[in-house]
Amino acid sequence: MIDSTTQGARLLAGRYELGALIGRGGMSDVHIATDSRLGRRVAVKLLKSTLANDPVFRTRFRQEAQAAARMAHPTIVRVFDAGEETVSEPGGGETISPFIVMEHVEGRLLKDMIADGPLPPAEATRIIEGVLTALEYSHRAGVVHRDIKPGNIMITNAGQVKVMDFGIARAISDSSATVAQTSTILGTAQYFSPEQARGETVDARSDLYSTGVVLFEMLTGRAPFRGDSPVAVAYQHVSEAPVAPSALVPAVSPSLDAVVLHALAKDRFERFQTASDFRSDVAAAAAGQVPPKRTDPTTGFGATLFGVNPQATADTEAAMRQLSVDDDERRSRTQSRPPVAWIWSGIAVLAVVVIAVLFWAFNLERTQLAPSMSVSVPDVIGQQYEDGAQRLIDDDLTPNPFREASTEVPEGQILRTVPAAGVTVSHGQEVKVYVSTGPPAVAVPNVDRLSLPDAQAAIEAAGLKVGTITAENSPNIRKDIVIRTDPAVGTEVRGGDTITIVISSGLITVPDVRNLPIGDATAQLSPLQLQIRVQGNNGCTGGLVTNQSLAPGDQPQNSEITLTWCSGVAGGSTSETSEPENPGNG
């Protein structure tokens, strides 16, 4: 139990030394902390005590924290520990404070970046690709976030995207809290999916809707729906259509408009079905390409894109007209028309003309325009970044490096480019170059005091290799039990690195204590946990040890040793000791 009146020196769970407050939200406070056991900096999120009053929440919270802790991905903030702490209030009462111990990330929250204004489309798409990479990983692991918003997305100082708070929203929504209470806890309804606003079952596609809202906000600097209350905003998510981002920021391309509007489809079956599809379309739009149409292939070509005509969403009124017009208004109302045969003949002629024009334009681009106005992205995959970047520069392209962990590609080599090799782009266009940082960082697991087989299994399960195994004398650790590792437990290493194990030999090193005072001799031997027996010799004086039953050097643990020392009194037995072979002189 901890005392809430001593926040300056607060120790959580007997292990985490809380430091300064670095964040505050509607349902938690975040402190920087030090893990005294592993000696590393962490972030500790203390959830509001009001959440802990519900036993269903506490059970779900523990389960979700365990699920989040199993996820290890560069784009997800790691969860190291979770639990509950009993806090003594100044009035004498006690409350339960749930907490989560997370990876400490140096960087800036996305919501703070958006507060400075709209992000450039290239930066917005790069960040959203990182978010979708995290969701693709979590959805495959069966974990739905449920609370994707800029306040849960961190951009590190190196530009890496980190998504946090997996599982917390589910723990809240699965407790006995009402919908209104849940809205209050989450702080805002701006990122709700329509099914969340209706209180329906939530799945991975709800995360994709929320991600679409975040992308909209990054591109425009504001959320697609705003209102005086969370209920008003939730109603808009259910019933109103968003405007195209380009209506607010003209720099947004029609391709990005289409991607955002597709992600914000009201019907979950009409929006993106997987994070992978969403990420692919974002990458295509960022590269200046038209994303593939993912609607029913039998619908008319070119009429709408993802169910919404971007040209009809130039402003709010146009968007509402486009989405609210009924089928009767779309029908032609004229009563006089040519014979059916003429109509089909006209359509056939028009189709031939269109095909001929397209064929001519395609060949003109390849034969005349391409050499002077465009360039093909070279294949630099597998090259060192310096070499590949120079190749792109030589081809009049602008390389932009991004770091990404890989267990298969060595550090410094290029994983892929966006646009991909062979794609024709304009001169000077930026090419995203993803460079391997090698295997992802792995913390050396805690195998201290484990048996050698168990330690080897734990190290290999963490994606590391067992290296040299050496034995070392120890007075208190049994034979073949791990004393330590090199690197030490908790040290961040690369996946596949080799770990050296030091085990106990089951021996101790006995020093030579002869000719030492008996007190000094026992003091040296006591830490070795030997069974020490002392035997006095009245035949000599001085208090020095004259003999030890165990020879100096390596001896079995818990051995018995007998020390013989001079216990005689000076002047009383000196003559007997000095002349033992001449008793007659006495």
Spatial neighbors of 406 by CB under 8 A, at least 6 apart, are 415, 436, 437, 438, 439
Q: Does the domain at residues 383-436 carry the CATH identifier 3.30.10.20?
A: yes
| pLDDT of residue 84 exceeding 90 | no
- Shortest CA distance to 536 belongs to which of 525, 521, 546? 546
Residue 574, pLDDT score:
39
Residue 154, pLDDT score:
94
- Pick the residue with more confidence: 443 or 359? 443
User: Residues 176-183: what's their mean pLDDT?
Assistant: 40
Q: How far apart are CA 313 and CA 455, in angstroms?
A: 62
Number of Cα atoms under 13 Å in the Cβ half of residue 521: 25
- The tokens of 300 are what? 């008319």
Residue 485, pLDDT score:
94
- Pick the residue with more confidence: 30 or 580? 30
- For the purposes of burial, counting CB atoms within 10 Å of the CB of 305, is it exposed (0-12), middle (13-18) or buried (19 or more)? buried
| pLDDT of residue 308 exceeding 70 | no
User: Residues 75-104: what's their mean pLDDT?
Assistant: 80
The proportion of the chain whose per-residue pLDDT surpasses 90, expressed as a percent, equals 45
Q: Where in the chain is the domain with CATH 1.10.510.10?
A: 107-296+306-315
Which of 81, 112, 147, 228 is catalytic? The answer is 147
Helix/strand/coil for 236: helix
- Pick the residue with more confidence: 63 or 254? 254
CATH architecture observed for domain 441-505? 2-Layer Sandwich (3.30)
Q: List pLDDT tens digits, range 311-348.
A: 333 333 333 333 344 444 433 333 444 455 556 667 87
Is residue 286 very low, low, confident or very high in pLDDT (cuts 50, 70, 90)?
A: very high
Q: How far apart are CA 214 and CA 144, in angstroms?
A: 17
Is residue 427 very low, low, confident or very high in pLDDT (cuts 50, 70, 90)?
A: confident
Q: How far apart are CA 561 and CA 548, in angstroms?
A: 7
Residues 371, 375, 381, 383: is their CA dihedral positive or negative?
A: positive
Residue 340, pLDDT score:
55
Residue 197, pLDDT score:
85
By DSSP bridging, strand 498-504 and strand 465-472 are parallel
Q: What integer best gives the mean pLDDT of the chain?
A: 80
Q: List pLDDT tens digits, range 367-400.
A: 444 444 578 999 999 999 999 999 999 888 989 9
508-585 CATH choice from 3.30.10.20, 3.40.50.1240, 3.80.10.10, 3.10.20.10: 3.30.10.20
Q: Where in the chain is the domain with CATH 3.30.200.20?
A: 2-103
| pLDDT of residue 226 exceeding 70 | yes
Residue 86, pLDDT score:
76
Residue 586, pLDDT score:
30
- Pick the residue with more confidence: 61 or 484? 484
The proportion of the chain whose per-residue pLDDT surpasses 70, expressed as a percent, equals 77
DSSP H or E segment with residue 34: strand 28-35
Q: How far apart are CA 310 and CA 253, in angstroms?
A: 10
DSSP H or E segment with residue 398: strand 398-404
DSSP H or E segment with residue 288: none
Q: How far apart are CA 245 and CA 261, in angstroms?
A: 9
Is residue 218 very low, low, confident or very high in pLDDT (cuts 50, 70, 90)?
A: very high
147 is catalytic: yes
Sheet order of strands, 28-35 included: 2-3, 79-88, 94-103, 40-47, 28-35, 16-24, 11-12
Q: How far apart are CA 22 and CA 31, in angstroms?
A: 5
Helix/strand/coil for 410: coil
Is residue 61 very low, low, confident or very high in pLDDT (cuts 50, 70, 90)?
A: confident
Helix/strand/coil for 318: helix
User: Residues 88-108: what's their mean pLDDT?
Assistant: 80
- The tokens of 284 are what? 């295509």
Residue 488, pLDDT score:
93
- 96 and 151 in contact (C-beta within 8 Å)? no
Instruction: Name the CA dihedral angle for 2, 5, 6, 12, rounded to a multiple of 10 degrees.
Output: 30
Q: Where in the chain is the domain with CATH 3.30.10.20?
A: 383-436, 441-505, 508-585
Is residue 552 very low, low, confident or very high in pLDDT (cuts 50, 70, 90)?
A: very high
Residues 477, 479, 482, 484: is their CA dihedral positive or negative?
A: positive
User: What SS3 string covers 333-375?
Assistant: CCCCCCCHHHHHHHHHHHHHHHHHHHHHHHHHHHHHHHHHHEE
Residue 341, pLDDT score:
59
Across 112-121, 504-513, 573-582, least confident range? 573-582
CATH architecture observed for domain 107-296+306-315? Orthogonal Bundle (1.10)
- 307 and 293 in contact (C-beta within 8 Å)? no
User: Residues 224-252: what's their mean pLDDT?
Assistant: 89
- For the purposes of burial, counting CB atoms within 10 Å of the CB of 10, is it exposed (0-12), middle (13-18) or buried (19 or more)? buried
3-state helix, strand, coil in the chain (%, to 5): 35, 25, 40
- Pick the residue with more confidence: 163 or 197? 163
Which range of 253-267, 394-408, 560-574 scores highest in mean pLDDT? It is: 253-267
Q: List pLDDT tens digits, range 25-35.
A: 767 788 999 99
**CATH of segment(s) 2-103:** 3.30.200.20
- Shortest CA distance to 44 belongs to which of 58, 60, 55, 28? 28
Is residue 571 very low, low, confident or very high in pLDDT (cuts 50, 70, 90)?
A: low
